[in-house]
């Protein structure tokens, strides 16, 4: 089995805010990530797909197909304010952890028709020194 990895970039805004908490508890818990107008990140999404090498193409997966899936998911997030522009994040805090799971769930849905492929891991970098991995 071979693992093929691909990265794609997108930029989004967010803020951390639990509406069930007081302003003070939000500030105490989320610090600078809790600000009224939010802030932005340049995210990098990385998908790792494992499978056999196809004898006819020499590929685990056609890169154009993988790119189409990744672009579809990042189009949902790119240049959006996640808390209000993306339905899923109205009720799920747009943390790195929740965003990587959102991306994984979206990508794996598109791989269901390719049983020979396994989505090994999806990694989301919020910055060069912070990232989250999801293995499903
Ligand atoms: Ni942030």
One DSSP character per residue, the chain reads: -EEEEEEEEEEEEE----TTS-HHHHHHHHGGG--TT-EEEEEEEEEEEEEPPPTTTS-SS-HHHHHHHHHHHHHTTTTEEHHHHSGGGGSS---HHHHHHHHHHHHHHHTTT-TT-EEEEEEEEEETTEEEEE--
Task: In whole angstroms, give the CA distance from residue 23 to residue 46.
Answer: 35
Ligand 1 center–CA 54 separation, angstroms: 40
Output the CA 17–ligand 1 centroid distance in Å: 11
Report how far residue 94's alpha carbon sits from residue 92's, in angstroms, rounded to the nearest whole number.
6
Tell me: the pLDDT tens digits for 14-71? 999 998 999 999 999 999 888 888 999 999 999 999 999 999 999 999 999 999 999 9
User: From the CA of 41, how far away is ligand 1's center (Å)?
Assistant: 6
135 C-alpha to ligand 1 centroid (Å)? 23
| Residue 39 Cα to ligand 1 middle (Å) | 6
The alpha carbon of 77 and the centre of ligand 1 are apart by a number of angstroms equal to 14
Which domains, from first to last, does the chain contain? 2-134 (3.30.479.10)
Question: Ligand 1 centroid to 129 CA: how many Å?
Answer: 12
Query: What tens digit of pLDDT does each residue of 67-115 get?
Result: 999 999 999 999 999 999 999 999 999 999 999 999 999 999 999 999 9
């Amino acid at each position: 089995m071979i693992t093929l990895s691909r990265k794609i970039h997108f930029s989004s805004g967010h803020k951390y805010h639990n509406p069930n908490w007081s302003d003070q508890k939000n500030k105490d818990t989320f610090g600078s990530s809790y600000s009224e107008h939010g802030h932005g990140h340049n995210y990098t999404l990385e998908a790792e797909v494992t499978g056999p090498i196809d004898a006819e193409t020499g590929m685990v997966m056609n890169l154009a197909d993988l790119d189409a899936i990744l672009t579809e998911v990042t189009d949902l997030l790119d240049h959006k304010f996640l808390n209000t522009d993306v339905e899923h994040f109205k009720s799920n805090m747009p943390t790195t952890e929740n965003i990587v799971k959102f991306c994984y769930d979206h990508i794996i849905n598109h791989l269901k028709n390719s049983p020979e492929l396994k989505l090994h891991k999806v990694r989301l970098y919020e910055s060069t020194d912070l990232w989250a991995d999801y293995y499903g």
